[in-house]
A and B are shown apart, each in its own frame.
Chain A
Amino acid sequence: MCLAIPAKVVKIDSGKILAEVKGQKIKASTELLKPKLGDYVLVYGGFVMDIVDKKQAKKILEEA
């Protein structure tokens, strides 16, 4: 839970997305949730686990 990675969706493929954070790209499955391009998501264990607003994502990022 506290280990999830906040990242911005930069590419959408069928069934998965590519999200970016701190210049790194992370792949994740959209089996659970289907975010849109530009959405902020929480990635965990290879899945998009939550879609959050920019403010929330920033808050998690600032801690990092």
Chain B
Amino acid sequence: MLKTTVVFDSEETKRLFLRYAIPCSMVLIRRGKVSEKTIDELKSKLMKNEKIRDDLEKIFTIAVRMLIILAKKSGKEKIDVQILHEYFWFKHVEAIEQRNTVFKDIPVQRCIVWPGVVVTDDGMVRTPIGIKKYQKDFLPDAKQGDHVVVHYGYMVEKITKKQYDKLISYYEDGNALKKFKCLVG
């Protein structure tokens, strides 16, 4: 078993991880893996800028273990922002594809972390799957024209134009757009 008390390189990285992970955590609640109270507490601490517990592996077991593996493969002792991006922007899509070939039970379009451009200050974002409204809880100051990534109904993180272009071309090159666009989200 892995020894995993402090696996993130900073409190900031841990908080960014939660912004990606919390939106779809209702699935874990439904499976009885974690209580609603635990997730509410995490979200509240995230929003109030209070310290986040170190044992996130207990709650988000699979995601944290995958991040540890990716960090190790890059010769890193701890998970940093670059590893988070490698996972949520790229590796995560492969996992969605695999799950979808076996079960076809997941809302693929919501699961994918999409790059987007904010089109209105109240939360409308244009992504490859169209213009939709996203929760601004994690990015309250996101403004029209900002480049962001979205996950499961939430705006997660602001990104640069360069990162945006890289993500867009990844989806186009990998043919993922065509593959996932037609699925019910």
Residues of A within 8 A of B (CB): 1-5, 21-22, 24, 26, 31-33, 42, 44-45, 47, 49-50, 56, 59-60, 63-64
B62 and A59 within 8 A (CB) = no
A63 and B31 within 8 A (CB) = yes
- Residue of B at shortest CB range from A7? B102
Residue among A24, A45, A50 with max Cβ neighbours from chain B (10 Å): A45
Q: Chain B at the A interface: mostly helix, strand, loop or mixed? A: helix
Chain B, interface residues (CB within 8 Å), range: 20 to 34
B106 and A2 within 8 A (CB) = yes
Residues of B within 8 A of A (CB): 1-2, 21, 24, 27-28, 30-32, 60-63, 65-66, 69, 91-92, 94-96, 98-99, 102-103, 105-106, 111
B69 and A47 within 8 A (CB) = yes
In whole angstroms, what is the CA distance A20 to B127 when docked?
36
